[in-house]
Amino acid sequence: MMSRVVRFGLTLMVVGLVAAVCLGLTYSVTRDRIAEQEELREAKACMEAMPGVKEAGELEEDRELEKKAREHIPDVEKIFTCDSGVIIILKVKGYGGPIRMAVGIGEDGAVKGISIISQNETPGLGANVEKEEFLGQFIGKTPADQLKVGESVQGITGATITSKAATKEVREALQAFEEIKGLE
């Protein structure tokens, strides 16, 4: 006769294994769909970040530029080129986790647009990083501009860490642009 503890342990182990197998199967079924949705979200953000780009087919990922830019700016994830300039995707740590952002920079070196791809900031505070009132203040900024929260950038009240993270992303995108501009 098995003791109650051993029987309870075996039951718990079997339930855990069944749950793990079900979770694994669910992931394998949904993995491609999740990746597809992430690509669509990224393409939409890139088009929003570069006015004039009407479809994702106008964008071309440049892995060579990405590699070179990452040597100096590790937060760079991807770089897309188009007729109007470049779109740089970066990821930095915000208050609630990573903030992924697409920054469109024209041939003249000025920010043309910004779009948040994903963020997990506090609703009503840090999540305001997606609002035009915050992102709009970066439009027209160039590598020569000193971007600093509280000086040249109006931060989000109650979300200092998020404001600094987003400002850092724009500053790094402009630095990456300078790096790749010298490489082309």
Q: Per residue of the chain (184 residues), give pLDDT as tens.
A: 568 888 888 899 999 999 999 999 998 888 888 888 888 888 888 889 998 888 888 888 889 989 989 998 999 999 999 988 999 999 999 999 999 999 999 999 999 999 999 998 989 888 889 899 999 999 999 988 889 898 888 889 888 999 999 999 999 999 999 888 865 5
Q: How many CB atoms lie within 10 A of CB 184?
A: 9
- Does residue 138 contact residue 147 with C-beta atoms inside 8 Å? yes
What pLDDT does 7 receive? 87
What pLDDT does 31 receive? 87
What pLDDT does 100 receive? 94
What pLDDT does 89 receive? 95
Q: What six digits make up the tokens of 175?
A: 């630095």
What pLDDT does 2 receive? 66
Inter-CA distances, 168 with 36, 52, 102, 105, 115, Å: 28, 25, 13, 15, 14
User: What is the chain's percent helix, strand, coil content, to nearest 5?
Assistant: 50, 20, 30
